[in-house]
Amino acid sequence: MNLVLRSTRVVTPEGTRPLSIAVADGRIAALLPYGAEVPPGARLEDVGDDVVLPGLVDTHVHVNDPGRSEWEGFRTATRAAAAGGITTLVDMPLNSLPPTTTTAHLRAKQAVAQRAAQVDVGFWGGAVPDNLADLRPLHDAGVFGFKCFLSPSGVAEFPELGPAELDRALTEIAGFDGLLIVHAEDPGALAAAPARPGPAYADFLASRPRGAENAAIETLIAVARRLDARVHVLHLSSSDALPLIAAARSEGVRITVESCPHFLTLTAEEVPDGATEFKCCPPIREAANQDALWQGLVNGTIDCVVSDHSPCTADLKTPDFATAWGGISSLQLGLPAVWTEARRRGLPLRDVVRWMSTGPAELAGLASKGAIEEGRDADFAVLAPEATFTVDPAELHHRNRVTAYAGKTLYGVVRSTWLRGSRIFGSDGIGAGVPGRRLFAEPPSGRLLERTS
C-alpha cells in the first residue's frame, strides 16, 4: 500500500459512504472501513467531510494541438481539466492540424500530448470523405471511435460526410464493431433556416433550429438500424429528439447520447446580444428545452454529460453570431456548473458522477476508469460540494480565458485531483516546502490511453 485516502463521503457504485480507500501501484487495492488501521508504509490522507468522487472522464474535448495551439494546447487543457476534477480526457479529431484522420496524424498528436499531459489522454479518430481506408488502421492504433459531421464542421480540413459517404464509413466501422460519434445537424434543415447575421441571439438561434438536430438524428437512427452499427449523438441540445432516441433504443438500435454543461445550465433567454462567448453549435436553447433535457438525464435517455470544450483565441469571438467561432470552454467548470443545477433540482451528487464519470468511461470502453471500485485506477476528485465560488476568468487555466460562466456563483469547489494515486492538483497548492503557490504536480504524469475493448 502507498496511500490511504479517507473521507466520510466516498461516492461508490453502491452508494455514498464513509470509507478508507487503499491505493497500491496506482490502483484501488481495497475499500476499507472508514476507521481501518492504516497499513504499515502507507501514507494517510484524510479529507474529512469533503466528498471523494471517481475522477471525471471527459470524452469531448478539442485540444487543437498541434496546429492551432494558440487556441488551446495539451498543457493548458489538461491543467484546466485537472483543476476541474477531470482525470481522463478524449481529444476530438478536428481543429488541430493535422486532424486525426490517419495513423500518422494520430502519432503526431500523441507525440505532442505525451510531453504535456497532466491527465490521461485518449483520442477519437475522424471519418471524413477521403479516409475510408484509414479507419481500420486508426482503430487498430487505438482510437476510441470515429467522429463525423453531417453538416459543415467549421474547418476546411474536416469535411462532412454526405449520405452515401456516411453509409460507407459506417459499414466499414461496423465491420470491426467500432463506434461512430456524430455531430448531428441536418445540412438541408440548416440551409432552409432563416440566416440573419448580427449580434442578436434570437437570430442565431433561429438559424440552428431544433428541427436540424431532430432530422439528423432520424437519419442516424435509420442507418444505425439498417447496418446494426454503434452510433453516438454528440452534444444534444434539442430535447425534441429524446423520444426518438429512447424509442430507437427500446427497439434495439445501438445508439447513445451526450449533452453538455452549457445546455443544462445556461439558457437562450439569458444570452445578451453580441455575447458570442455563448455561441456553440447546436446552440443553447430555451429554458423549457433545458427542463426537458434534465428529464432525459433523470430517466436515463441521456448517457453522459461532457464539456465539448472548444476554445479559440479571443479575437475570433467577434460580436456577430454568424461569424464568431462557435465553442464554449468549460473543462474547469463543468463539474461545478452541472452540480449547481443538479442540486437546485434536488438531484444527488451520485447522479452527476454517473453522467460525468461512469457514463463517459463506458462510452469509450475505459474499464479502468469511471468508478471507485477495487482494481480500477486510483483517479479521484475531492470536492467540497457545499462550498461556493464566483467564476473569475483570471482563475481559469485554459489558454484563452474566454468563458460563458464569468461572474456566476457555483457550488462545488474541487480541492484536489488525483491520478493513479498521486495528487496532480491542489486548490491550495501542492508540494510541501515548495516556494510560492504551485497548483499542479510537475512533471506532468498523464499517460496516453488506447482503446482496449
Task: Return the range that interacts with Zn ion (CB under 5 A); candidates 111-119, 156-164, 223-231, 306-314.
Answer: 306-314
Residues 6+ apart with CB under 8 A from 27: 368, 375, 376, 377, 378, 420, 421
Shortest distance (Å) from residue 233 CB to Zn ion: 12
> Cβ(249)–Cβ(300) under 8 Å?
no
> Cβ(57)–Cβ(370) under 8 Å?
yes
Task: Return the range that interacts with Zn ion (CB under 5 A); candidates 127-135, 212-220, 286-294, 300-308.
Answer: 300-308
DSSP state of 239: G
Bridge partner list, 411: 388
Shortest distance (Å) from residue 214 CB to Zn ion: 19
> Cβ(167)–Cβ(175) under 8 Å?
no
Side chain identity, residue 93: P
Radius of gyration of the chain (CA): 21
Shortest distance (Å) from residue 380 CB to Zn ion: 27
> Based on CB atoms, which residue is closest to Zn ion, 45 or 185?
185
> Cβ(272)–Cβ(199) under 8 Å?
no
Shortest distance (Å) from residue 60 CB to Zn ion: 6
φ/ψ of residue 334, rounded to 5: -60, -45
> Based on CB atoms, which residue is closest to Zn ion, 120 or 308?
308
Shortest distance (Å) from residue 302 CB to Zn ion: 16
Task: Return the range that interacts with Zn ion (CB under 5 A); candidates 33-41, 277-285, 308-316, 370-378.
Answer: 308-316
Residue nearest to Zn ion (CB): 308
> Based on CB atoms, which residue is closest to Zn ion, 282 or 412?
282
- For 263, other C-beta atoms within 10 Å of its C-beta total 27
| Residue 319: closest CA among 198, 223, 151 | 198
Shortest distance (Å) from residue 332 CB to Zn ion: 17
Q: Is 414 helix (H, G, I), strand (E, B) or coil?
A: strand
Longest CA–CA span in the chain (Å) reads 69
Count, residues near Zn ion per rule CB under 5 A:
1
**Using the rule CB under 5 A, which residue among 308, 341, 377, 379 binds Zn ion?**
308
Task: Please state the length of the chain.
Answer: 453
> Based on CB atoms, which residue is closest to Zn ion, 72 or 308?
308
Shortest distance (Å) from residue 61 CB to Zn ion: 8
The set of cell numbers assigned to 327 is 465553442
> Based on CB atoms, which residue is closest to Zn ion, 290 or 310?
310
| Residue 398: closest CA among 66, 84, 53, 57 | 84
Task: Return the range that interacts with Zn ion (CB under 5 A); candidates 157-165, 301-309, 357-365, 431-439.
Answer: 301-309
> Based on CB atoms, which residue is closest to Zn ion, 155 or 268?
155
> Based on CB atoms, which residue is closest to Zn ion, 93 or 385?
93
Bridge partner list, 10: 17, 52
> Based on CB atoms, which residue is closest to Zn ion, 22 or 264?
264
Side chain identity, residue 30: A
> Cβ(253)–Cβ(244) under 8 Å?
no
> Based on CB atoms, which residue is closest to Zn ion, 12 or 265?
265
Task: Return the range that interacts with Zn ion (CB under 5 A); candidates 124-132, 255-263, 307-315, 372-380.
Answer: 307-315
Shortest distance (Å) from residue 123 CB to Zn ion: 14
> Based on CB atoms, which residue is closest to Zn ion, 149 or 440?
149
Side chain identity, residue 108: A
Task: Return the range that interacts with Zn ion (CB under 5 A); candidates 24-32, 49-57, 304-312, 409-417.
Answer: 304-312
Cα torsion 229, 249, 303, 178 to 10°: value is -10
Of residues 311-350, those binding Zn ion (CB under 5 A):
none
Task: Return the range that interacts with Zn ion (CB under 5 A); candidates 208-216, 239-247, 303-311, 424-432.
Answer: 303-311
Shortest distance (Å) from residue 310 CB to Zn ion: 5
Residues that bind Zn ion (CB under 5 A): 308
